[in-house]
Amino acid sequence: AQSVAQPEDQVNVAEGNPLTVKCTYSVSGNPYLFWYVQYPNRGLQFLLKYITGDNLVKGSYGFEAEFNKSQTSFHLKKPSALVSDSALYFCAACSGGSYIPTFGRGTSLIVHP
Amino acid sequence: ETGVTQSPTHLIKTRGQQVTLRCSSQSGHNTVSWYQQALGQGPQFIFQYYREEENGRGNFPPRFSGLQFPNYSSELNVNALELDDSALYLCASSSPGLAETQYFGPGTRLLVL
């Protein structure tokens, strides 16, 4: 069975500082990994995905994520946080043989001015 | 904003009633997935439709059913509503295939009293 863990319910960071939102996964075979962001009363917006290739994936709004196979992690990062980055972030994973993604519970990112 | 629209935005029903939620997919997408997002949780996969056929189903009972139409719009029907069905229901459209990016609509918030 697939599973995704986001160990932090909330991450607080000061504007201008780097941010990291953590995600670990468990899937059979090669993973496909995704990050989505959700603003209040809105649907999920796609940020980036890892399919294969370079372990560092660059996405929208200056976000990037690093795939680490040995640690089964796919942490979301941004070098300099903005107040407007404050939102709910979801990590999702599916195995190479499945099109059904499993989502984590989400991490609330709060960027303080 | 994605081109995925959902209606209605909000809905209040009573236990035992039936509800139909609607989704229009993004232009060029022939695959639609439905998710249930309970408060404080990540989205849970309900089912996916491809070319008007169910193409996969999550761990939801048969009272959750769906349709996809020739124009690739879709409906989610829930019979015999239960209090635990209260949630945000998200529709996502995509191109067919593994690990294709899903584009989410804004969701329908259902409250069952």
Instruction: Report CB contact under 8 Å: B43, A90.
Output: yes
Chain A residue whose CA is closest to B40: A105
pLDDT of B63 above 90: yes
8 Å CB contact of B42 and A94: no
Say if the Cβ atoms of A90 and B42 lie within 8 Å.
yes
Residue A1 has pLDDT above 90, yes or no: no
Query: Which residues does A73 contact at the CB level (< 8 Å), separation at least 6?
Result: A22, A23, A24, A25, A66, A67
Geometric angle at alpha carbon A109, from A13 and A25, rounded to 5°: 115
Cβ-contact B100, B84 below 8 angstroms: no
Q: Is the pLDDT of residue A96 over 80?
A: no
Within 13 Å, how many C-alpha atoms sit on residue B21's CB side?
31
Beta bridge partners of B109: B10, B88
Q: Which residues of A touch B43 (CB under 8 A)?
A: 44, 90, 103
Tokens for B111? Answer: 């409250």
Q: Average pLDDT of chain A?
A: 93
The pLDDT assigned to B2 comes to 66
Q: A-chain residues within 8 Å CB-CB of B2?
A: 43, 45
Cβ contacts of B40 on chain A, cutoff 8 Å? 105-106
Chain B residues with CB under 8 Å of a chain A CB are: 2, 4, 6, 35, 40-45, 48, 55-56, 58, 90, 92, 97-107
Q: Does A99 touch chain B (CB under 8 A)?
A: yes
Lowest mean pLDDT across A27-31, B59-63, B74-78, B89-93: A27-31
HSE (CB half, 13 Å, CA atoms) of B19? 24
Is a pLDDT exceeding 90 seen at residue A41? Answer: no
**Which candidate from B41, B101, B102 shows the least CB-CB separation from A105?**
B41
What value does the mean pLDDT take over residues A81-85? Answer: 96
What does the pLDDT average to over B68-92? 95
Question: What number is the average pLDDT over the span B39-55?
Answer: 91
